[in-house]
Amino acid sequence: MNGTKLNREIRATLAFVLIFGFTACTTTKTVVVSPERCAVGKNPTTDGAYLRTDDGVELWYKKAGNPKGPVVIYLHGGPGYNSYAFEKAAGALLEQRLQMVYLDQRGCGRSWFEGHPEKLGIGPTIEDIERLRKKLGAPQISLIAHSFGGLMALEYVKAHPYQD
């Protein structure tokens, strides 16, 4: 299977999407979520990188796999989970052909967040994905998602149907 056909097939698939629910926050309190609170046993400074957003969030991500393959960003479930388990379960297989990017969404896993809960919403998360795509220098990305990440993937595709 050539790379173009593989890329089209990946782009056409948004994985299995099971949405278990979403709770809206209406509090005006400040929320602090740090990597220490959700530690998964890895050192994020040597095993990944951080992307700082305009509103002060530090997003943890890790690139792994075939640097010549299509760029695929994994969006974890939650809200509140991380990308670690998926990377360990499926990473080795996917990384043979794909350039995988594991992203811990804002306020989750190894990403850092401090501020009003409305900054944890769908809109900011969608823009985080786009910001990461641009940081990676990828003209196009594919998404693989689990659970709540599937909702984020669908919202991203609605907001950015045609990437650079």
pLDDT(163) > 80:
no
Tens digit of each residue's pLDDT (9 = 90 or more) over 44-77: 445 899 999 998 899 999 999 999 999 999 999 9
> Quick one: tokens of 45?
């400074």
Instruction: Return the pLDDT at 119.
Output: 84
CA separation, residue 89 to residues 83, 85, 92, 130, 144 (Å): 10, 6, 8, 26, 14
Q: Which CATH superfamily is domain 10-18+30-159 in?
A: Alpha/Beta hydrolase fold, catalytic domain (3.40.50.1820)
Report the predicted TM-score, pTM, of the whole model to 2 decimal places. Answer: 0.75
**Could you tell me the residue ranges of all domains in the chain?**
10-18+30-159
Tens digit of each residue's pLDDT (9 = 90 or more) over 89-142: 999 999 999 999 999 999 899 998 888 888 888 999 999 999 999 999 999 999
Average pLDDT for residues 145-159, to the nearest whole number? 96
